[in-house]
Amino acid sequence: MSTAITFQDLTLGYDRHPAVHRLEAQIAEGSLTAVVGPNGAGKSTLLKGLVGALAPLGGGIAFGGLSGDDIAYLPQQVEIDRSFPLSVVDLVAMGLWREIGPFGRLRRDQRPRVDAAIAAVGLTGLERRPIGSLSGGQMQRALFARLLLQDARLVLLDEPFTAIDAKTVADLIDVVRRWHGEGRTVLAVLHDEDTVRAHFPETLMLARQLVAHGPTANVLTAENQFRARQMCEACDGPPHTCGRSAA
C-alpha cells in the first residue's frame, strides 16, 4: 500500500509555540484514521497544516502524489455566515467548484449529482431552505454533501460529530465508510472513543508529540491515554527554545 501523507519531523505552531512537535508518521493511501488526543494536543493544528493554512515551524509534509486540489477539508467550527442568503442546494453545489470554477455554470448533467449528494445525507426536500433555517445536525449533513461533491482523494474532518445527535452521527459515519470503501484516505479528529473503536481501523494519538500510531486496538489503551495526558500537562510549563537537534 502506498503512502498518502508523510509527516517529516513536522513542527506546527503559533507564535513560536509548537502545537505539534516533531511529528514523524506515515498515513497509508486509502486508510481511515482517527486522530485522537486531549484538548490542546494539536489535532486541529495538524489538519490546518495539512491544508496549508499554517506553515510549518520546522520539518515538512510530503504528499504521495496528492496535490492541493485532491484535499477536502471540513473545519471544526465552520465559519460560515449562516445569515447569508444561500439555499441548501447553493451551499452543496459549491462542492463542484473545482469542476465548474468561479465563472462556469452548473451543467445539466451535474444537477443530478447535486441531488444525489443531498439525498445521500438525507436532506432531500430541504433543497430550497435557506441555510440559516437549518438545525446544527442538518447543517453538518449539508456540509457532508458538499464534501461528497468535492470528490477528493484525501478528506480531512475536524471534530465532525461534535454536538450532533446519534442518528445524524450514524448517517454521517455511513458516508465516511463509503469514502473508505472507495479507496479515499480519510483523517478525522474525534473525541468519542466508542465511535473510533467501532468505525476507525487506524488511530493516531497526539499529545503535541506522537504518542502512538497504528491499529486502533493497539493505540487506544489506558496506558497510552495516561501518557498523552501527562505529556500535554508537561508541555504547559514556561517556554524554552527547543534544544533537541534533528536526528
Partner 1 sequence: MWDYVVQPFADFGFMRRALLGCIAISVGATPVGVFLMLRRMSLTGDAMAHAILPGAAVGYLISGLSLGAMTIGGLIAGMAVALASGFVARVTALREDASLAAFYLISLALGVLIVSTRGSNVDLMHVLFGTVLALDDAALILLCTIASLSVLTLAVLFRPLVLECADPHFLRSVSGLSAVTHFTFLALVVLNLVGGFHALGTLMAVGIMILPAAAARFWTAGIGGMIAAAVLIAVLSSFCGLLLSYHYSLPSGPAIILVAGVAYGLSLIFGPVGGLVGRAVPRPHFET
What are the residues binding partner 1 (CB under 8 A)? Answer: 51, 53, 71-73, 75, 78-81, 84-86, 91, 94, 97-98, 102-103, 130, 146, 150
Cell numbers at 152, concatenated = 477528493
Query: Checking DSSP bridges between strand 154-158 and strand 71-74, what pairing results, if any?
Result: parallel
Q: Which is nearer to partner 1, 84 or 226 (CB)?
A: 84
Smallest gap from residue 130 Cβ to partner 1 (A): 6
Q: CB of 98: closest distance to partner 1 in angstroms? A: 6
Alpha helices for the chain (secondary structure H): 43-51, 88-93, 97-100, 111-120, 136-150, 166-181, 193-199, 216-219, 222-234
**Bridge partner residues of 210 (DSSP):** 206
Instruction: List the one residue out of 129, 145, 17 whose CA is nearest residue 93.
Output: 145
Q: Which is nearer to partner 1, 78 or 234 (by Cβ)?
A: 78
In the bound complex, what is the minimum distance in angstroms from residue 73's beta carbon to partner 1? 5
Return left, alpha or beta for 195; rule: phi > 0 is left, psi -120 to 50 is alpha, else beta: alpha
Q: Considering the complex, what minimum distance in angstroms separates the CB of residue 219 from partner 1?
A: 29
d(CA 236, CA 231): 9
Nearer to partner 1 (CB atom), residue 97 or residue 226: 97
Q: Least distance in Å: CB of 131 to partner 1?
A: 8
Q: Which is nearer to partner 1, 10 or 71 (CB)?
A: 71
Residue number, 15 or 109, with CB nearest to partner 1? 15
- Minimum separation from the CB atom of position 86 to partner 1 (A): 6
Residue 91's Cβ-count burial label (10 Å; 0-12, 13-18, 19+) is buried
Cα separations (Å) of 90 from 54, 120, 149, 197? 29, 16, 12, 35
**Cβ-based nearer residue to partner 1, 34 or 152:** 152
Which residue bears the cell 494536543? 41
